Amino acid sequence: GLSDYIVCCQTYEGGFGGEPGSEAHGGYTFCATACLFLLGSLHMADTDALAEWLASRQMSYEGGFSGRSNKLVDGCYSFWQGGAVAIVSAAVAAGQENDDQDPWLANNSDNDSNSPTDPSHLLMDEGMLERYILLCAQDVAGGLRDKPSKRTDFYHSCYNLSGLSCAQYCGKTSFGHP
């Protein structure tokens, strides 16, 4: 069925392409991950490879995400990759991930979102992503953009803000400040 087809789109890298045999891409990875999670079928995918691919898309210098291997950071992937991190983290918390997950993570996770064993902290550096969005993607005249050399637009404003929300709330069980 549908889950089987989506799993066939997972690449050797761990992300998902638009069809079997195509290159892994952030947008397709988010859509595939969300669909499998909603269908209760994320366990059918190689979630370890998926988590590794997602983590490797965040660039250590800039702090933002690239959408594909060997590509530059783009602000919209703050959502596409950050949203997929949130879904994988939720799946781990709900026990919907692979049965062969890392035994250290399984034995040390206590569902405390501020714990260093919370999967979201292992997959992305939320602070660096926030810095990229607020310092690099934000234009002083208003709006958000792909990267500092580009113009602002509604598309990148929407997905940068959505990515900022992922960075600020991924893995949190409650919203707001105490």
Amino acid occupying residue 55 = A
Catalytic residues: 25, 68, 71, 74, 76-77, 146, 153, 156
Q: How far is CA 110 from CA 2, 11, 59, 94, 114, in A?
A: 33, 31, 28, 12, 10
Q: Which residues contact 111 (CB under 8 A, 6 or more apart)?
A: 93, 173
HSE-CB at 84 with a 13 A cutoff on CA atoms is 33
Residue environment code for 61-90, b if the CB has 16+ CB neighbours within 10 A, otherwise e: ebbbbbbbeeeebbbbbbbbbbbbbbbbbb
Phi, psi at residue 164, to the nearest 5°?
A: -60, -40
Q: Give the length of the chain.
A: 178
DSSP annotation of 96 reads -
Rounded-to-integer distance, Cα 171 and Cα 178, Å: 16
